[in-house]
Structure formats: structure tokens, C-alpha cells
Structure 1
Amino acid sequence: MTAAALPRLLPAVCCLGLCSVLISAASAQGARPRTAPPLPAPDPMSYQIIHVDTAQALADAAWNLRSNQAIVIAPGTYDLASVNFPNGVDGRITVGRFGAPIISNIQVRGATDDPADVVLRGAGMLNPIVPYGVQIFTAREVTLANFSVGEVYYHAIGVQGGQGAGDIRIYNVRAYDAGQQIIKGSGAGADDVTIEYSQVDYSVGAIVHPEGSPPNSCYTNGIDVTGGDRWIIRDTRIERIRCQNNTLAGPAILVWQGSADTLIERNLILDSSRGISLGLVASSDHSGGMVRNNLIRWNPAATYAVDVPIYSTSPNSRILHNTALTRGRYPNAIEVRFAGATGVEVAGNLLDAAIQPRQGAAPVLSNNRSDAQTAWFRDEAHGDLRLSVAGEAQLSGALPRHPQVLLDCLAESRPASTEAGACGRDPQRVFADGFEL
């Protein structure tokens, strides 16, 4: 890839959290890396726009939201523990009041395109005065965008399906450091939620929580959906979903308890205890679903417990063209479990460990590789799992393109003959030795 071509590629690469390996070259060319394409400003013909610049003003505006309103938050750090919350209970930001009529066509967003510019901060993972960062109750057609939210007792973002919350877009948001699950979709009806160009992470790891299950345990997932249909999780970096006491944390992405038709694609999951789970304890936990073009890597030197990168109990699910490296920490890279998980397809994945059917599962396997080497990737140690020159030579475009995977990890078109794994050949490569990088 030439230096002149680099700015074109940065937005797509950075959405996967790969910016660190490209920033120095981009800076030399004067390019400014970005994590998401800019979200258009709210149209004043469609929204009443409310500007806020204090935590109290934000809480008041959210409490009084009506349909067709957009809250725009000025840059700054917003201490939610300082809020005199309108219902007199706690410092969460509420979108749609509990038990009230449904409102719709709502935005809550930072004023800039950088989520680090607007930080909604609670009182810490062990202080219940701020239980949630943002909690959506009776609201639909909601966009949350361009801010960071974390340091809370339960969840950084909660979607309450039982109250009517659904049709939610979480865009260019960093959700971090929650005492339990970081983003939580709760109950039937929490449907049609899209998370994209975002970051979900622990700064260090999850804590032992007094209200864990069981109590005083590490009780976390990155994104946890119960009973939700048609969630889309894409182009998001998920990192350090693990326990500080080194016990086994829950999955980075867990969609279960009657959920269906989840699409999980082009995410980067690093240094966590577990990866992606469609279902967990039974084949009735999830139905359908697609897991494709994701990049997952475990740290070989870590001391915390780990489990499988990709796991499905979901009938008719598809696990296609993912790259998953256990680095010797776990014997399997993909597991499909239970006899009821029928019609599962596992194809085109690039792995360094086995694909393991469990308890009567019989997935259909094709064109997978379980012999991946670290030298096949550009910078495996820092999470850049695009193919190196050596990786391209080893894989050499030997597979027919799968009809469900027409794009690769950068959302670029795959050629008719492609490679195993999430990232195909670099079409911009000029020299065989990769010197132009």
C-alpha cells in the first residue's frame, strides 16, 4: 500500500481498532485517523435540538424528552453522581420514563465526532449511587452517539425491552468499566438494536461485585442480550472482558435466553476470557444468527482464565470466515454444542486450534484452517490480524467466495477466489515483500 492510499483505508481499518499500527504513517501524510464516519448533525426540520453543557442539564433534558427531540452534549466530563435526578432516586440518564407512553425519534449525542470529548462518568463500579450510565425504557428509534459512558454500578447502557425499548442505534460510543455487563439488552422486545463503530472495554478488568450471580463474584459480559431479536454488532473493538481476580469472565458478546437472528461481523475482540456466544446453556437459547469476519486473539502470557473464542448452541447459525487465535490458551477455537443445534455451518475460518462439536452437535464443516501461525499476520501482538505477505502466500486465494461473505474484515469486496479467515489479500499491495507498508 502506498502512503497516498493510506488515508482512504484508515476509516475502515480504524473501526476495527487497528489505528495504532497506521497512525504514524498517516500522521506523516497529514491525515487524521478517525474511528467512525461522521454522523450527520440532527436535522432541525426533524428534531427540536436541545444543547446541554452540565450533568444536571443533561439529566433534566433526558427526563423531559419528547418525541422528535435531539440532545447535543457539549465537550466535557459529566459527573453523574452530582446530579439531583428528577425522580429523586439516582444519577442515571433516562431515555423514556419507566411506565410512560412510548416516545420516538430521539437522539442523545456528543457535539463532536470524538467520543473522548464527552464523558458521562459514574461513581465507580462498586458505588450504587450511579447504577446505569444511560438506560432506555419507553423509547424507540433512539440514537446514542459520540460519547463515552462508564464507571457505573450495573450497566453503562441498558435497553429495557419489557418497557418497550427497541429500534436503538449505538454509534461511535465507548462503553466501559461497568460493575456487571457493560451493555445490556433485557427481555423480549429489546429488538432491532445496532451497535457499530464503538468500543466496549474494561480499563483493567471486571471487579468482584456484591450483587453478582452468585453474590460476590465477577459477573460480567461485554455485550449481553437476553430475549432480543435482530441485534447487529459490527465494526466494534471489544477488549479486556476479563476478571481482575483471574476467574473466568462471561463472553465478550453473549446473545441468549430466546434471542434470534443476531448478526455479529467485523469486530475485533482482544485479551478477553471468552469471545462470541450465540446461546449458552441450551439449543433453545438462540436461533439462527451469523458470525462472520470477526478477529479474535487471546494473550498467551495472561494469567486470567480463558475459554473458547466462538461458541454456538443456535440451530441454523453460521460461523463464517472468522480469524481466531487462542495462542495455546484453550484447545478449541470454535465449539458447537447440543444435539438440538442442527443446521450449523462452520466454513472458511482461520484458526490456531480445533473446531469441536460437543454433546451431540454435528455442524457442517468446510474450508476451515486450524494451523494458523503468528507470522501469517501483520502485527498479531498488537491486534493487527490482517494477513502478512507470508500469510497471503500460505493461504493463496484457494477458496471459492462464500455467498454469505462477499466482503472481508474491512468491508471490502472479496475476489471470487479468496482466503480463509476474516481478512483477505490486500488489493493495494504493490511489492511482494510488502515494503510499501
Structure 2
Amino acid sequence: MNFKLVPVACLGILTGTTGTAQAGTVTVATAAELQSAVATANNLGGNTKIVVRDGTYTLNDTLYVNVPNVAIVGQSSDRTKVIIQGDAMSSTAKVGNVIRVAASNFQLSNVTLQKSRWHLIQIAGETNADGLIIKNCILRDAYQQLLKVSYDPTNPSATSNNGLVENCIFEYSASVGPQYYIGGIDAHGAKDWVVRNNTFQNIISPNNTVAEFAVHFWDPPSSNHIVERNLILNCDRGIGFGMDGHGNMGGIIRNNMIYHASNKGFYADTSIALIESPDTQVYNNTIFMENDFPSAIEYRFTSTQNVLIANNLTNKPILSRDGATGTVTRNVTHASDAWFVNVLIGNLHLASAIRSVVDLGLPVSGLRNDFDNESRSQYTGIDIGADEFSSITNLTLPMASYIAD
């Protein structure tokens, strides 16, 4: 492939800073050109923006990003028009990861990733790969977790920090996964990540062993993540902070909508779980579960202390297990499907001004907006749940915009 890297002045686009960096920009149109562009970026030390034209790019090997300040960007803002894929979603596929990132300030936007033996994208926290940004992408159909953040437990000082994942879709297109060992975002030892405005759907085990969470942050020093304004549809498990023996510290889970139908998956767990996750806040989420699991939110084990669970709207109880402690207040746990616009598509906006919900929430520091990023009332009282009720907004909102197209 013959191409020329053209220097352009970037104002924080590749660096994540407000300084100016000299970057090379290259446009590619074939899988061979894409692989060559990544290899060239590695050879030149990074600072490269790779623009990918519309088309399907079937790789014969992983795209290894080993240098900082690399961006892979679909030329169109339509993420369905640029597909970067491995050879198959199976345990014998040749391509392990579609992309593996072992350096800081990598950006991915406006593309679809699909088909891999392991993950669609792996962030190597053990190399201090910080500042990841993934925006406006579709991640679907990996044989294991769709997005993986790894780390080396023997070197916990090396972690992936300050990642951002927003406006993406994570899904299994067959409405069920290929095995139980799947998940959406599975992050080990990461710190200060933000996951917002995404849709996670059909992360379902095909058998009686539960799949992993749609969003899961765990393994010390995992800490201070924000998971907000996400829609989670028919996933075996929703959002998890920590795991037995592999905890998390702090963080916020707020303004998410989670729905699970009665006929989706053979086995399911709770929608939000704090598992050895002290000092965590879970507030203003709306959860409607039609499966058999008995509780909507659980906080587990004695190390889970000083948590706040407030203003959540659910149709199932909130449960403390194995000695977990915290403040649990202003939650409504007896919601009916008639309270919502359309539970079947996960539209858990309030259909009317429910008396036990509207204006009865507890003021929480940092709570300013709702699921739609609309302002919470600061005068008449905030509503319980992810939605701040508005008769105009709630009955006209095109909820299908949150569903995979």
C-alpha cells in the first residue's frame, strides 16, 4: 500500500489535552490498507488518525495498537456503514481480538466491530493504556466479552484509567450469546471510567450458567467509575461493581433503565449488584424485571459498607446479603408495567405522574439530570427513578432511537 501521512494540527483530538499535537491522517479503503496503516502508526510512534471509508473490512489478524494517540474513525457518521470484523465468532476463529490497545489515548468512533474468538477490543491495562475513548460504535458478536480491560494482578500499579464509552450499542445479534462466558464491558483493575448513553442488549447465556454483566468493573484497584444513562435490555445481569474476592471501591450507578422480559434467557441474576464494593452510590435507576430472579438490586458481603441506594424505582425488592450495610432510602419497589410508556422495548419513562414517585426523591449531591439528560427539578422535588416526568417529553420521546438499528 502506498499512502502518505499528512501532518495536521490537532487541538486535543488525538491527545485528549488542550495542547496542539502534530498528527498524521491517512484514509483507507481495504482491510490490507487498514492493517498497513496501523502498522505504520506503530512504526512512527503514534499521533495518527486513520479514517476508514464505508465498507466491510475482514481482517486476517488483530489490529495491534502499541503507540499513543491513535484514532480509528469511520468516515461516515453512520456506524453501520463501516464494519471491521474478524473471521468468525467461535472458539476456533483465527482472529482473537479485532483490536488490541497497549498504549494511551486511543480513540474509536463511527464503526461496527464484530466477530472474534476473544474480544472485539481489548485494552491492556497492564501497559497503562489510559484515556480510551469509544464513541458512536456498535460492538456485537464476540465469543467472549465484547470489550475487555485486562490487568496484571502482580503489578496493580499499572491500570487503565479515565476511559470513556458513550453512545454505543453492545449486543448479540442472534438475541442470545454463543456461550455463558460473555459480557458487555468487562474491566479489571480500571479506575475512573465513564460509561454513558449506551444500549446493551441480548447478553444472554444459551444454557443454565449465567452470563457476565452488561457492565462490570472489578478487581482492586478498580475504583470511582460512573455508569449512567444506559439502557440495558434482556441481559442476564445488568451492572456490577466488584466480585467475591475481587472488589471495587466507590463509584456511581445512576439514571439507568434496565428491563428483562420473562422469555429471555434460561437464567438471570440481579439487575444491579454491589459485591465487595464499599462507598458506592446507586441512585435514580429504573428497573423492571419479568424473569424469576427475586431482587432488582443487591449489595453483598460485609466489605460492602457505607453504600447509598436511593431513589430507585423497581418492581422487585432491594436486598442486602451476607452482612452488607449502607443507607437504603426513598426507593419504590412495587412498580407496575402500567406506570411506564412501553416496558416491552425498555421504554421505562413514566406514562403519567405516579403519586408515589413524582417529586418524592431524596436530593443527592451530583444529581442534576435524568436518563434523557434533562434537568431534574430543583424546586418542587426530584422524581424517583431514572426519568424526571414531563407529560410532553415522556409521551413523545422516540424510544426506538435507543434500540439497535
TM-score when normalising by structure 2: 0.86
Are 2:98 and 1:136 aligned?
Answer: no
Determine the structure 1 residue equivalent to 2:52.
73
Deviation of 1:363 (Å): 1.9
Deviates more, 1:238-247 or 1:410-419: 238-247
Partners of 2:272 and 2:177 in 1: CA distance: 21
Structure showing greater relative contact order (alpha-carbon pairs closer than 8 Å, 6 or more residues apart): 1
Partners of 2:191 and 2:396 in 1: CA distance: 46
Aligned length: 368
1:199 to 169, 175, 184: 169
Deviation of 1:245 (Å): 3.0
Partners of 1:336 and 1:251 in 2: CA distance: 15
Deviation of 1:427 (Å): 6.4
Partners of 2:371 and 2:306 in 1: CA distance: 25
Are 2:267 and 1:325 aligned?
Answer: no
What is the Cα-based RMSD across aligned positions, in Å? 2.1
TM-score when normalising by structure 1: 0.80
Conserved 8 A contact 2:183-2:213? yes
Question: What pairs with 1:9-408 in structure 2 (closer than 5 Å)?
Answer: 46-65=22-41, 66-81=45-60, 91-96=61-66, 103-126=67-90, 127-137=92-102, 139-187=103-151, 188-204=158-174, 205-208=176-179, 218-258=180-220, 259-282=222-245, 285-313=247-275, 314-389=277-352, 391-408=353-370
Partners of 1:125 and 1:163 in 2: CA distance: 27
Gaps of 5+ in 2: 1-11, 152-157, 399-405
Deviation of 1:426 (Å): 1.6
Deviation of 1:392 (Å): 3.9
Gaps of 5+ in 1: 1-39, 82-90, 97-102, 209-217
1:274-330, CA deviations, whole angstroms, 9 ceiling, x for partnerless residues?
Answer: 110000113x51001100001101111224210100000211000010011112421
Partners of 1:142 and 1:52 in 2: CA distance: 18
Partners of 1:67 and 1:199 in 2: CA distance: 28
Identical amino acids, percent of aligned pairs? 28
Deviation of 1:394 (Å): 4.8
1:403-426, CA deviations, whole angstroms, 9 ceiling, x for partnerless residues?
Answer: 221110011110021211001112
Counterpart code for 1:415: S
In structure 2, relative to structure 1, the CA distance for the partners of 1:427 and 1:140 (3 Å cut) is farther
Partners of 2:321 and 2:52 in 1: CA distance: 49
Counterpart code for 1:405: L
Counterpart code for 1:142: F
Deviation of 1:47 (Å): 2.4
Counterpart code for 2:34: L
Partners of 1:421 and 1:118 in 2: CA distance: 36
